[in-house]
Amino acid sequence: KRAGDQVVSGSINMSGVIKIRVSSVYSESTVARILELVENSSEKKAKAENFITKFARWYTPVVVSAALCLAFIPPIFTEGHNFSEWIGRALSFLVVSCPCALVVSVPLSFFAAIGGASRKGILVKGAGYLEALASADTVVFDKTGTLTKGNFTVSAVHPERLSEDELLDIAAAAESHSTHPIAESIVKAHGKHINPERIGSISEEAGLGIKAEIDGRIVYVGNSKLMDKVGADWRDCHHPGTVVHIADGSEYMGHIVISDVVKEHSKEAVAELKKAGIKKTVMLTGDSRKAAEQTAKTLGIDQVYSELLPGDKVQKVEELLLEKEGKEKLVFVGDGINDAPVLTRADIGIAMGAMGSDAAIEAADVVLMDDDPLKISKAIKISQKCLRIVYQNIIFALAIKFACLGLGALGIANMWFAIFADVGVMIIAVLNAVRALRVQNL
């Protein structure tokens, strides 16, 4: 930053002392706008509906009314008016219709699945989010810190008329007093002792790079604008990433490419998502188009949007949400405070818990405690297994109950059948629900 430039709230000053004049109140600051986006997004977030709650609205009144009708209407219109027999059938009918199996096994399936997921470092904040995950169709990633480590490293060294080690040695000496992340990555890549006696005066060219006296000669290390300023005939690089040029006076010496490191499991994670039934993967990033497209190609991402601001990410997610069909759900995965509005706007937000910001973790519905993107597909598979078990229990319980209800009304099924249809079915459904705890091989 130079005198007169605007500084966004939340920026980090890596070195030196700067004076900043506050030009807006808190309510107009960047952080405040991000929080406002979070709050507005929360209001529009879709919520999963509970099947049992909807089912009970009509099931309970219907079966109670049916039992009363069974107890009193048939004996009125039959010979002998045998009220005791029909009241007995009605009582069996009520015992069978008791929804214990559903009321117990359905929540238990979700609790078991949430417990099994937590043992694998996947924290799900509620059964509704687990249910929504099973319908995931699109997964949107933030790049830095999610698919990549967020740690800059030297990915290529391209010298002119000298060796790679010599070019890296000169650049590391010039950058040795800087605390900038790119400078630190060059020094780390050099990995050798730098003799301070080799280094003379060092000055920073604002927004351009560094001018340093190395071994008695003036060396420039920085971007292409710095090379233009000193008259060096610099070369562009076909490698994606940040290019740091080095010149001895106006004589071009070569360049070094700095790139973010892709996480070990990112490519596998994208492939596993496809196997889990995800139809589209998208990456959102503030990086340059060239670097973003290279990362997306490496990882097998279907669609990429680059050079985005936090507000742009929300807009892109809004557009993707409009493209959905039916009950399909959109998942967003991020880690930074800038991702918080998008995490809340998506149908399901997943945050990286180890290195992620508190705002992102608070806004997310699912938190991955070890930042492993491979856990995203595991979370989806756990939710799919959980929903399969839930539907199995619902279908099994209702099928047995309706069969016994019909047999009880006809006088074929006695109270023993009724008890099995109630307690027996509940025990079987509970044992089936416990299977949701087993997530080892998913």
Confirm if 369 and 123 have CB atoms less than 8 A apart: yes
Identify the CA nearest to 270 among candidates 435, 110, 419, 143. 143
| Torsion angle, alpha carbons of 78, 79, 81, 84, to 10 | -90
CA distance 208 to 11: 19
Q: Is residue 110 within 8 Å of residue 127, measured between CB atoms?
A: yes
346-367 burial, b at 16+ Cβ within 10 Å, e below that, comes to bbbbbbbbeebbebbbebbbbb
Buried b (16+ CB within 10 A) or exposed e, 132-161: bbbbbbbbbbbbbbbbbbbebebbbbbbee
Closest C-alpha to 241, from 284, 185, 291, 188: 291
Q: What is the DSSP letter of 284?
A: E
- The pair phi, psi for residue 388, each rounded to 5°, is -60, -45
Q: Measuring CA to CA, which residue among 308, 275, 35, 260 is closest to residue 149?
A: 260
Exactly one of 5, 137, 142, 165 is catalytic; name it.
Answer: 142
Helix (H) / strand (E) element for 198: namely none
Q: Active-site residue 142, yes or no?
A: yes
Q: Which amino acid is at 201?
A: S
Alpha-helix residue ranges (DSSP H) falling in 78-211: 83-97, 100-119, 127-133, 164-175, 181-190
Given a contact cutoff of 8 angstroms between Cβ atoms, the answer to whether 256 and 171 are in contact is yes
Predicted confidence pLDDT, tens digits, the chain (442 residues): 778 887 777 677 776 678 888 887 877 766 676 566 455 544 444 343 356 666 667 777 887 888 888 788 888 877 666 788 778 777 877 777 777 777 788 888 888 898 888 888 888 888 888 888 998 999 999 887 889 887 788 988 999 989 999 999 999 999 988 877 788 889 999 988 888 888 988 888 776 889 999 988 999 998 888 999 999 999 888 777 778 999 999 999 999 998 888 888 899 999 999 999 999 999 998 776 777 888 899 899 999 998 787 778 889 999 999 888 878 899 999 887 778 888 888 899 998 876 666 677 778 888 888 888 999 999 999 999 999 998 898 888 888 877 877 776 676 767 777 777 778 888 999 999 999 988 877 7
pTM listed for this prediction = 0.70
